[in-house]
Structure 1
Amino acid sequence: MEGTNQNACTFVTDPIELQNPTTLQSASPSLSYTSKLAQRYPPGFSRKVFAEVIGTFLLVFVGSGSAGLSAADENTVSKLAASIAGGFIVTVMIYSIGHISGAHMNPAVSLAFATVKHLPWPQVPFYIAAQLTGAISASYTLRELLQPSKHIGATSPAGSHIQALIMEMITTFTMVFISMAVATDVKATGALSGVAVGSSVCIASIVGGPISGGSMNPARTLGPAIASASYKGLWVYFAGPITGALLGAWSYNVIKETDQPGFVISLPSLSINLCQNPSGTEKVGKNDHRCLV
């Protein structure tokens, strides 16, 4: 019977079909690098960076300019008017460039949004560079326009550095907490996001102004500091706003309502013991036993 009922199968496979996709990617490293670069920096990314330059320039020009005029002569611009002007410029810039770049205009805000994954980390350095560029340019412009006055809206602690630090943390926490709510939560009233964030800046500036200057923005402080060569307590306006912004973003993420009602335990043994009720085992979905805590 040898050779008559012998079943033999021979498979001839094309070698190309056995190649690993990673091998193909490694064969064209330039293509892989280009695709990764396109994912990190989409075609419209340069417009976002330029929008941040313009937005931060106008933010510092109006905010620092009104504060400088108030410091030079409060009869011209009162402290309350300066705080309101700072809130108004944030409001109008959110409606102007918010759909393009998100209207961060603040390195602390960009870091906070990146921490909670609402901004890709590779884009953060470009956002911060754009914000600092706009802030420094606006400050030097104010220095030329407001001469001979030396007041260009530079912020410095009115009391101790610790008091100013805590105030900057709390005011920035308030601003970023509200920004996270109206900008990242679809259940919040997004149409009024500019009004909400601008109002929070105005309120925080009124409260924090007499103690810390109500900066809430490292770029807002660094620009006038460089233009006026005044660096008193500069570290406060980096540590305070950044810490407050991170805490504000994290806090809203903790309380943010999601579609999931709770933690899901999908182990069958635990489902039998924990999910049974007087009517039997609760079923969530088809043939799926889960306990929703």
Structure 2
Amino acid sequence: MRLAQRPGDSTRVYPELSGREREYVHSFNDLRLEWVRLLAEFLGTYLLVLTAAGGGVVDALTHGAVGSAAAVTAPGLVVLAVILATGAVSGAHLNPVVTIAFAFRTDFQWMRVPGYVFAQLAGAAAAAATLAAVFGVHGAAGLTVPGPQFTDTQAAVVEGLLTFGLVTIILGAASGAQNVGALSAFAAGGWVVLAGLWAGAVSGASMNPARSIGPALVSGDYAHLWVYIVGPFVGSGLAVAAAFGLRGRGGDAVSRRAAQGAGPNRTSGT
């Protein structure tokens, strides 16, 4: 593969990397391959929302055949699988607050944030549209809404707390100080399951604005959407602040590799 050369290429910016690692970073810095990374984010978020929202839709149609435990466990397993499958291509963020958190930690380039967020939102909307086309739109089925016993404010606080935990775990597992490699997928997926098991009845345990925005766009129901935007962004901001306190500035080689992936594998020589 012929790699793009430009000021600030990986040879100068990342001198601590080995030759093969530099090749990976070169590949990621080649903007000609950006569409592959965006496709990975689109497909990963599509599968996540298809599963997370689909569980609610099918459960409503079958009068509880899916069950709450299965409905909150499935998204965690999808997160685990998608990170293992596409993490090396794009970093498998699947979530706007994760992308922005990595950018604040200087592990991910700000110039890529808009593209990633757009791909995530598009994937979420496409998943919701698929569910609507197959099963129809059935009230709040597939939406993330506060439980009937809880207020929007309570749900927003819980979403903030859950997202704080999720982003803290992701940043910690990705850091050079606590690098666990592929096991980071189990850390993120495990938290999604645990959060859903105890807090799914409160807020739906979204922790992901894209996951909530996609179904809202398709159904046209925005009544509680602010909960799933404000809560996760506040929680993510607190997690980034905690990461600075725990590990100082980001930007180490391991964290960058985790946030960015290795880039698309191209061996054709073009």
- TM class by shorter chain equals 0.7 to 0.9
Q: Provide the TM-score with structure 2 as the length reference.
A: 0.77
Question: Counterpart of 2:32 in 1: which secondary structure?
Answer: coil
Identify unmatched segments of 5+ residues in structure 1: 1-33, 259-293
Identify unmatched segments of 5+ residues in structure 2: 11-28, 250-270
Contact 1:87 1:202 in 2 (8 A): yes
Contact 1:52 1:130 in 2 (8 A): yes
Match of 2:31 in 1: 42
1:180 is displaced (CA, Å) by: 0.6
1:88–1:255 Cα change, 3 Å: same
Contact 1:152 1:228 in 2 (8 A): no
Contact 2:137 2:219 in 1 (8 A): no
1:46-80 deviation line (CA, Å, top 9, x unaligned):
21111101001001001110122223435420010
Contact 1:176 1:248 in 2 (8 A): yes
Which of 202, 225, 228 aligns to 2:216? It is 225
Tell whether 2:177 aligns with 1:192: no
Which of 147, 154, 162 aligns to 1:163? It is 154
The percent identity for this pair of structures is: 36
Counterpart amino acid of 1:231? Y
Match of 1:254 in 2: 245
1:186 is displaced (CA, Å) by: 4.8
1:116–1:257 Cα change, 3 Å: closer
Aligned equivalents of 2:62 and 2:212: distance in 1? 21
Match of 1:141 in 2: 130
1:188-219 deviation line (CA, Å, top 9, x unaligned):
32231111100001111222211111111111
Tell whether 2:87 aligns with 1:108: no
1:148 is displaced (CA, Å) by: 6.8
Question: Counterpart of 1:156 in 2: which secondary structure?
Answer: coil
Aligned equivalents of 1:37 and 1:140: distance in 2? 41
Tell whether 2:165 aligns with 1:174: yes
1:122-137 aligned within 5 A: 122-137=111-126
Aligned equivalents of 2:81 and 2:54: distance in 1? 17
Match of 2:40 in 1: 51
**What RMSD, in angstroms, separates the aligned Cα atoms of the two structures?**
2.2
Structure number with higher relative contact order (C-alpha < 8 Å, ≥ 6 residues apart) = 2
Larger Rg: 1
1:36–1:125 Cα change, 3 Å: farther
Match of 2:204 in 1: 213
Which of 48, 62, 67 aligns to 2:51? It is 62
Aligned equivalents of 1:210 and 1:255: distance in 2? 31
Contact 1:157 1:211 in 2 (8 A): yes
1:58–1:130 Cα change, 3 Å: same
1:6-37 deviation line (CA, Å, top 9, x unaligned):
xxxxxxxxxxxxxxxxxxxxxxxxxxxx9469
Contact 2:84 2:182 in 1 (8 A): no
